[in-house]
Structure 1
Amino acid sequence: MAERIKDITSISGVRSNQLVGYGLVVGLDGTGDKAPFTTQTFTNMMSQFGITLPEGTDPKLKNVAAVSVTAELPPFAKPGQRVDVTVSSLGNAGSLRGGQLLFTPLRGADNNVYAVAQGNLVVGGLGVDGNDGSSVTINVPSVGRIPNGASVEQSVPNSFARGDSLVFNLDQPDFTTARYMVDKINDLLGPGTAEALDATSVRVSAPRDTSQRVAYLSIIENLEIETGEERAKVIINSRTGTIVMGQHVRIDPVAVTHGSMTVTINEDFQVAQPNPLADGDTVVVPETNIEIDDGGESRMFKFGPGVTLDDIIKAVNEIGAAPGDLMAILEAMKQAGALKAELIVI
């Protein structure tokens, strides 16, 4: 199936940037934290407003919480634009519901401020405590969001308008897809316009004028190309028992037997009493019964050469193998060299 170039690639150097900051949330209904760094931050903030607390004073904060503030700055974001922020408690605050984030600078990896955040939190979680110590929590009340809560202060430089070419990076590296992409662009714009650098990157010549480059890329990113098929893979999630097989999974001739043994242990207690007029005590005697069921005859099935995914699924369904048993069968097939696929256990 054909896919648009814009859906399977990204342009090198054009990316979002992560921002992070540290701030205070105020106005909580007694659900603030009691961390010492919260008190220190509050004291420093008050001193910036010209209010000096006496040394050793404990403000006994209940409505204030120290938080981390994170945001993702989109590519080409300009000063004055707004972005969403996520606010997370750093201390032991019970809930951030109803709180307001105070002015918080957001910094990038270079420690420069690229945005500032402030506003009222939207918290989806809820926590309720009872007087007897019981509590009910729905979702996570210690994390909230502020839609459009940060204002961009400066843009991040990028390489979009520099040079005579642009590099498209495939989301899924594949030599076949890279070749299809090069052929499609060269057929439309002329030989030599695009060249594959490796299985991931395709370099495309581009005009230097910014407006022409935007229109040029609009044409390229809407081109539809065929994508190379993924290599044969079998993905096993050992925690959930999920098994996913790709369409090109093949199996060489192999015989598999599947059997199970069930051991059941029942332990009952019998009361033993002494004979009349006998000098003895009533005691409880355990009685243990052990039953072993080997599941009947072992079931063996044989795969012939060139077995497809449909054949594997049909055989597994016929024997009624559980996910755990199927995992063991697939791993044994891989060890025997019969499974022609990459086996990935996560």
Structure 2
Amino acid sequence: MLTRKKMILLVLTLWLPLSSYAERIKDVASVAGVRDNQLVGYGLVVGLNGTGDKTSYTTQSLKSMLSKFGINLPPGTNPESKNIAAVAVNANLPAFAKPGQKIDVTVSSLGNAKSLRGGTLLMTPLKGLDGKAYAVAQGNMIVGGLDASGADGSKITINVPSVGRVPGGATVERAVNSGFDLGNTITLNLNRADFTTANNVVKAINETLGEDTAFALDGESIEVRAPRVPDQRVSFLSVLENIDVQPGQEAAKVIINARTGTVVIGANVQVSAAAVSHGNLIVKVDEETDVDQPNALGGGQTAQNPDSNVEVQEGEGRMFKFPQGVTLDDIVQAVNKVGAAPGDLVAILEALKQSGALKAELMVI
């Protein structure tokens, strides 16, 4: 089992300074317009073994579906079927997906259905942000969860039985125009905006493909001259995305997760000269109850008197000094020497930031 000292060292050294390295352009940037598109739809799952839902919109959807097949229920009839469930269906439409291709869909219960296991999704149009249907989903579902209950009220649930998937369950009916084959240029968007990285990408492209092939629009976008013929453009991008580029170093950051106590210190973080004192204050409160018992012939009543003992203990305080230009490695060693817990470390970093000694952006997530 890891000690507290080892755990702090492990967390803080996640971003130790690394040697210079190169990445491919495809790993640091993406082509503008070449992206997935989200689709969503509303449908019905049928064939459940009594684990469906009982909601008004499920009943309304069932009546609407039956009416399309010429079956009109008498007014006031309420089909209380436990074998159907109203669901939301969502999928990602990949870039360049063409009509007739298959994509996976995820099906999630909207009502109080206990489980979607064994159900079949009926034909469900999947629409984009513009309200147009781009795919149609239907098929038997795969549900990884399990829900079982007994007559005495005992119940067991494994994973999430109200969500399932239909692999290849949707057929693409409409393609999305990405604009990939339009114009004389393409635009590369960096995954993380950085002026140094953008400048290095431009230099790497121009050195490989010729001067004035690429130029930066800002700290995130690079415009590249490309052939207009689609076949030549594909070949051009095949070469372009495999060019090695030197990414810029990240800004100095300290990231704190307030919920878990995780602290990550960036490799470029430095601290100016500062002295830090670390100590603990422990308060203990013990509650006891004393019983006063009267004499047998006294005619009194038994009484309970609470007795509280409050004890305050001040832990051993320690002070350590950071010299000018201290690095991440020095911070790790100093914190480990005083045995600071993650919560104490957060307080130390916040105090250093307030004093102006911490030369980094402090982010609490």
TM-score range, shorter-chain basis? Answer: over 0.9
Identify the residue that residue 51 of structure 1 maps to in structure 2: 71
Partner of 2:340: 321
User: Which secondary structure state, in structure 1, belongs to the residue aligned with residue 320 of structure 2?
Assistant: strand
Structure 1 segments of 4 or more deviating over 6 A?
none
Between 239-248 and 265-274, the greater mean CA deviation after superposition: 265-274
Output the CA distance in 1 between the equivalents of 2:226 and 2:273.
53
Distance 1:181 1:83 in 2: 34
Alignment of 1:104-183 (within 5 A): 104-183=124-203
Aligned match of 1:307 in 311, 320, 326? 326
Aligned-residue CA RMSD (Å):
1.1
1:45-79: per-residue Cα shift (whole Å, max 9, x none)?
A: 00111111111111111000000100000000011
The C-alpha deviation readout for 1:19-67, integer Å capped at 9, x for no partner, is 1111000000111111101111100100111111111111111000000
Residue 18 of structure 1 aligns with an amino acid whose one-letter code is Q
Measured after TM superposition, the shift of residue 284 of structure 1 is 2.7
For residues 99-124 of structure 1, the C-alpha deviation after alignment (integer angstroms, 9 at most, x for no partner) is 00001111111111111000011111
Q: 1:279 & 1:70 partners in 2: Cα distance?
A: 77
Deviates more, 1:313-322 or 1:198-207: 313-322
Q: Distance in 2 between matches of 1:279 and 1:59?
A: 72
Give the equivalent residue in structure 1 for 2:262.
242
More deviation in 332-341 or 129-138?
129-138
CA distance in 1, matches of 2:296, 2:99: 99
Which position in structure 1 is the counterpart of 2:40?
20
- Counterpart of 2:230? 210
Question: Structure 2 matches for 1:239-278, cutoff 5 A?
Answer: 239-275=259-295, 277-278=297-298
Residue of 351, 354, 357 corresponding to 1:338: 357
**Shift of residue 286 of structure 1?**
2.5
Secondary structure at the counterpart of residue 167 of structure 2: strand
1:80 is aligned, of 92, 100, 106, to 100
Counterpart CA distance in 1 for 2:228 and 2:186 is 10
CA apart distance, 1:275: 4.5
- Gaps of at least 5 residues in structure 2 are 1-20
Aligned-residue offset at 1:287: 2.5
Shift of the 275–147 alpha-carbon distance from structure 1 to 2, 3 Å rule, reads same
In structure 2, do the counterparts of structure 1 residues 279 and 44 end up closer, same or farther at CA, with 3 Å as the change threshold? closer
Q: Using the alignment, how far apart are the partners of 1:176 and 1:343 within structure 2?
A: 22
Aligned to 2:242: 222
**Residue number in structure 1 paired with 2:3:** none
| Unmatched 5+ stretches in structure 1 | none
Give SS of 1:314's match: helix
TM-superposition CA deviations, 1:70-97 (whole Å, max 9, x none): 0000000011110000001111111111
For 2:115, give the aligned amino acid. Answer: S
One-letter code aligned to 2:243: L
From the superposition, tell whether residues 276 and 30 of structure 1 become closer, same or farther in structure 2 (CA, over 3 Å).
closer
Tell me the CA shift for residue 8 of structure 1: 1.2
Instruction: Find out whether 1:288 has 2:303 as its counterpart.
Output: no
Counterpart residue type for residue 230 of structure 1? E
Task: Please report how far the alpha carbon of residue 278 of structure 1 lies from its aligned counterpart in structure 2 after TM superposition.
Answer: 3.7
- How far residue 7 of structure 1 moved from its aligned partner, in angstroms, is 1.2
What is the alpha-carbon distance in structure 2 between the residues aligned to residue 132 and residue 265 of structure 1?
Answer: 43
1:93-104 pair list within 5 angstroms: 93-104=113-124
SS in 2 for 1:32: coil
SS at 2:307 equivalent: strand
Structure 1 residue 288: deviation in Å?
Answer: 2.2
Q: Quote how far apart the aligned CAs of 1:132 are.
A: 2.6
**Equivalent position of 1:2 in the other structure:** 22
Looking at structure 1, the residues matched to 236 and 353 of structure 2 have their Cα atoms a distance apart, in angstroms, of: 48
* Cα distance between partner residues in 2 of 1:287 and 1:48: 76
Q: The residue matched to 1:182 in structure 2 has which SS?
A: helix
Match in the other structure for 2:51: 31
Amino acid at match of 1:99: G
Counterpart residue identity of residue 139, structure 1: N
SS at the partner of 1:40? helix
Counterpart CA distance in 1 for 2:137 and 2:98 is 15
